[in-house]
A and B are shown apart, each in its own frame.
Chain A
Amino acid sequence: QSALTQPASVSGSPGQSITISCTGTSSDVGSSNFVSWYQQHPGKAPKLMIYEVSKRPSGVSNRFSAFKSGNTASLTISGLQAEDEADYYCCSYAGSSTSWVFGGGTKLTVL
């Protein structure tokens, strides 16, 4: 099972909005509501930011939003802040045999 496809890097200035795409196939992103997004700061464990395609866990800023269209999921961060600078990974369930697949990760730089 190949990793989901994410851009290697994105950047934006404080206050701006950015969107990170995550492209899979009809066997994973396209057929699953088990799509989630994780934030990882250097040397730290990943943190859940979005689950079930577009839902935010309690404690996650409403500046983070996400949706899915077909085989592509997207994460948008609005009102960029310096603390948002991190790596972001999408993840999808891919069926009982393959189980779970992650994206390759996107490094967000806040200029």
Chain B
Amino acid sequence: KNQVEQSPQSLIILEGKNCTLQCNYTVSPFSNLRWYKQDTGRGPVSLTIMTFSENTKSNGRYTATLDADTKQSSLHITASQLSDSASYICVVIFSGGYQKVTFGTGTKLQVIP
């Protein structure tokens, strides 16, 4: 069982609409959680980084939330644009020693006109 699970696997929304992507994790002890955006055939690019003490972090139209008690995070995209079409990957980092990084399988978002 993957220690970082994302839902939905894929999502299609109309341009201008909002959407929320989910990430549940079982990784422990937890250091920080990151959301990456990956365009097709490209490397992932960081959107947000949150430590266990942070509840929310924004980056433009992207807002990530974190509930460390329930081990859940979400990424909310406001007023979607065609360029938001990509895979969004949730990444959880263990605390202590070398930073053990666990990647979710991603949510593939398609924004259509």
Q: Do A and B come from one complex?
A: no
A residues bordering B, Cβ < 8 Å? none
